[in-house]
Structure 1
Amino acid sequence: MPTIKQSVFGHLDGGREVQLYTLDNGRGMSVEIMNLGAVIVSLKVPDSAGKIDDIVLGFDTPQQYLTDSPYFGAIVGRYANRIAKGSFTLNGKQYRLYTNNGENHLHGGKIGFDKRLWQAESVSDKKGVGLKLSLFSKDGDEGYPGNLKLSVLYRLDQDNRLSVEYWASSDADTVLNVSQHSYFNLEGHDAGNIGSHRLMLNADHYTPVNDQLIPSGEIAAVDDTPMDFRILKPIANGINSQFQQILYGKGYDHNWVLNRRAESGELELAAHVIAAESGRQLKVYTDQPGVQFYAGNFLDGSIKGKGDVSYQYRGGFCLETQHFPDSPNQANFPSTVLKAGEDFYSQTVFEFSSQ
């Protein structure tokens, strides 16, 4: 029987209380989500032998998500990924954003959506148990125009699918690109290097970057490069190659252009991952045009996570469904402009199984 429970996760500096919501599908899978950053704190999934492990990286206290976190489990925005030099022009006006990644803007700036307390509401219906989180981002927040209203619905069903739905609207033209930023390790959050995971990305092309991980504007074919994941292969196979894009990213940290049918708005398979030992599988479906595959290249053992685990180099991977990085400055990329009064909607589904 699916259930949802609420508890106090902890307190932030200044005494602000953080709530934790546990969604359980009654079939061995559960997810814990807190209202700080709309963060997935834990995700427990059975393996092929029925053993249940927590497969996302994270922390035991909410304060660590503000001070120590490389966006573990968070909803990132207003703009997921990078905007070059923290600047873009919209309707002839230049907007300057907070630069928190060298000279560039990353994942919403200094106080992005991952560092905000959201309003939370439990949901239970025939589709499963869920948690709806809502946030208001005022005009000028981190430099962005428009008063933005955003809602995110996490829903866990009895087929071990965790869906993430997004709704947004603004009273002025703005740009929007939101994504879910969990770090997965299908062997368990404490299992170390993810190189033996086999990955498939449903993409014939990717967007090459410079040494600051800003796209050049080119949409390049993956053929005959380490960026080709069209057939399942171990992540480790090309991650240390001398291919220039790998050198720039210190491994994989790139946006892949998903193969999509002509019809827009439909969920299509973006990625498939299989863990070598546990047999856990993850399939990601989305209506977004891209996915950022990041292989944890900047984890270095210095972050102490859940259960006092030191998260090691490449100890988790991200599959961030998204529009492309720096789209507001790249005319040939799909637009991320949200017009005043228009409604934004998107959905991504994480489907778990074992073999």
Structure 2
Amino acid sequence: MSAPETPAGGTVARTPFGRTRRGEPVERWELRLPSGAAAHVLTRGAALHRLRVPDAAGALGDVVVALPDVAAYEAAEGYPGAVVGRVANRLAGGRFSVDGVEHRVPVNDGPNALHGGAEGFDQRVWRAEEVTGGEGPAVRLTLRSLEGDMGFPGELVARVTYELSGGADGVRLRLRYEATTSAPTPVNLTNHAYVNLDGPGTVEDHVLRAHASRYLPVDEVLVPTGELRDVAGTPFDFRAPTRLGERLREPDEQLLRAGGYDHCLVLDGAGGGERVVAELTGPRSGRRLRVLTDAPGLQLYTGNFLDGAWRDPAGRPVRQGDALCLETQLLPDAVNRPAFTAGELGGGLDGGVLRPGAVFTGTTTFALDA
């Protein structure tokens, strides 16, 4: 597809990216600004493939981990760049109940179901279409998840729109999530991009600030215990800018269980709409990422399970600590944890459940400057 100019001055281009092992064609959609900044989105997994933005010297570079082809994405564990669901994060025991009826999701993470099960949304090819009339070039991806898909009730239609915009204050990539259902079902959508603002190398020198006064401790299989714990005096206190590696190797039971950070920060100001919840800076590039969201949670994951099996397009291995994830979401396992859906933490859902006639919505913006 050609790259017509959008009303906001950017372009949208669609190109083939290969085929899945099942023979399904995968497309890559490029959203590009006149400055050269660009986002690439794949129809497989609705994945953020690349995000190229300038550093402090004006040089464009990728700030998310990319893999070279469809086969690499299919072989990769860890959900690189994907939109995950039907329920992001871990469902304890791979089970939940809605209106007194128990449902089971095939486990794929020890005793738990992770990111929607073995055949979650990251494994599917979504339908894509260009969206016009916004602040910049945009693409909307749609997936229909049938009744009984991975054990979930109801037919769910999920959509995510990526929109890229820019100006004197930097580059913004906005993700808008929507979902509707034919029967009550839990839903929790997020993006699982792996970020390194400095390009290849460690993220331990990145500095993070997060507006979160509480976090969710986890048990031995990394499922939240149900406690909303104060971050004060713990390695999870990022209320002041803190180098990621500063406390990473402290003998803290929570860090030891996860092999680093793999915990949900409970964000302040939930229910107040989209607001700045985190700020990340890369010391070598001078890039800054601000995360804005209307979600109540932010899963901080420091790539603890990356083992070098991934290779980026230049052939470099991606190892533990080479990237991190900042996954905006509803609180994990919320359908099984009433305290996680109380008040403004519920994200507008009824006990973590989306019901017919209602619409699940969520917005997250990644704002980058240098």
What range describes the TM-score normalised by the shorter chain of this pair?
Answer: over 0.9
The residue type paired with residue 198 of structure 2 is E
The residue type paired with residue 46 of structure 1 is P
The residue type paired with residue 97 of structure 1 is V
Determine helix, strand or coil for the equivalent of 1:350.
strand
Equivalent in the alignment of 1:299: 306
Determine helix, strand or coil for the equivalent of 1:195.
coil
Tell me, yes or no, if the aligned pair for 1:7 and 1:19 is still in contact at 8 Å. Answer: yes
- Does 2:326 align with 1:319? yes
The one of 235, 251, 276 aligned to 1:269: 276
Determine helix, strand or coil for the equivalent of 1:333.
helix
Equivalent in the alignment of 2:186: 175
The one of 257, 262, 274 aligned to 1:253: 262
Q: CA deviation at 1:326?
A: 1.1
1:201-350 aligned within 5 A: 201-260=210-269, 264=271, 266-334=273-341, 335-350=351-366
Determine helix, strand or coil for the equivalent of 2:163.
strand
Q: TM-score, normalised by structure 1?
A: 0.97
Q: CA deviation at 1:70?
A: 1.1
Whole-Å separation in 2 of the counterparts to 1:157 and 1:51: 18
- Does 2:154 align with 1:138? no
Equivalent in the alignment of 1:52: 60
Determine helix, strand or coil for the equivalent of 2:137.
strand
Q: CA deviation at 1:265?
A: 5.4
Whole-Å separation in 1 of the counterparts to 2:284 and 2:21: 41
Whole-Å separation in 1 of the counterparts to 2:23 and 2:188: 31
Please give the per-residue CA displacement for 1:97-132, whole angstroms capped at 9, x wherever unaligned.
110000100001111101101110012324111000
Whole-Å separation in 1 of the counterparts to 2:229 and 2:22: 49
The one of 62, 65, 81 aligned to 2:70: 62
- Does 2:115 align with 1:107? yes
Determine helix, strand or coil for the equivalent of 1:270.
strand
The worse-fitting range, judged by mean Cα deviation, of 13-22 and 74-83 is: 13-22
Whole-Å separation in 1 of the counterparts to 2:355 and 2:15: 38
Please give the per-residue CA displacement for 1:172-206, whole angstroms capped at 9, x wherever unaligned.
00000000110000001xx1210000001110000
Tell me, yes or no, if the aligned pair for 1:88 and 1:94 is still in contact at 8 Å. Answer: yes
Q: CA deviation at 1:213?
A: 0.7
The one of 192, 196, 204 aligned to 2:205: 196
Whole-Å separation in 2 of the counterparts to 1:95 and 1:310: 39
Whole-Å separation in 1 of the counterparts to 2:246 and 2:298: 20
The one of 147, 159, 163 aligned to 2:174: 163
The one of 131, 154, 160 aligned to 1:152: 160
1:275/1:338 CA distance change after superposition, 3 Å: same
Gaps of 5+ in 1: none
Whole-Å separation in 1 of the counterparts to 2:93 and 2:201: 34
- Does 2:43 align with 1:35? yes
The residue type paired with residue 117 of structure 1 is V
The residue type paired with residue 249 of structure 2 is N
Q: CA deviation at 1:32?
A: 0.5
The residue type paired with residue 340 of structure 1 is P
Aligned CA RMSD, in angstroms, stands at 1.1
Determine helix, strand or coil for the equivalent of 1:125.
coil
Tell me, yes or no, if the aligned pair for 1:25 and 1:157 is still in contact at 8 Å. Answer: yes
Return structure 1 stretches of 4+ with deviation > 6 angstroms.
none
Gaps of 5+ in 2: 1-8, 342-350
Whole-Å separation in 2 of the counterparts to 1:67 and 1:310: 14
Whole-Å separation in 2 of the counterparts to 1:259 and 1:37: 30
Identity of aligned residues (%): 37
The one of 161, 171, 187 aligned to 2:198: 187
Equivalent in the alignment of 1:4: 12
- Does 2:81 align with 1:73? yes
Equivalent in the alignment of 1:83: 91
Determine helix, strand or coil for the equivalent of 1:169.
strand
Tell me, yes or no, if the aligned pair for 1:26 and 1:158 is still in contact at 8 Å. Answer: no
Whole-Å separation in 1 of the counterparts to 2:96 and 2:304: 28
Determine helix, strand or coil for the equivalent of 2:306.
coil
Tell me, yes or no, if the aligned pair for 1:172 and 1:341 is still in contact at 8 Å. Answer: no
The residue type paired with residue 174 of structure 1 is T
Tell me, yes or no, if the aligned pair for 1:123 and 1:129 is still in contact at 8 Å. Answer: yes
The residue type paired with residue 126 of structure 2 is W
The worse-fitting range, judged by mean Cα deviation, of 132-141 and 333-342 is: 333-342
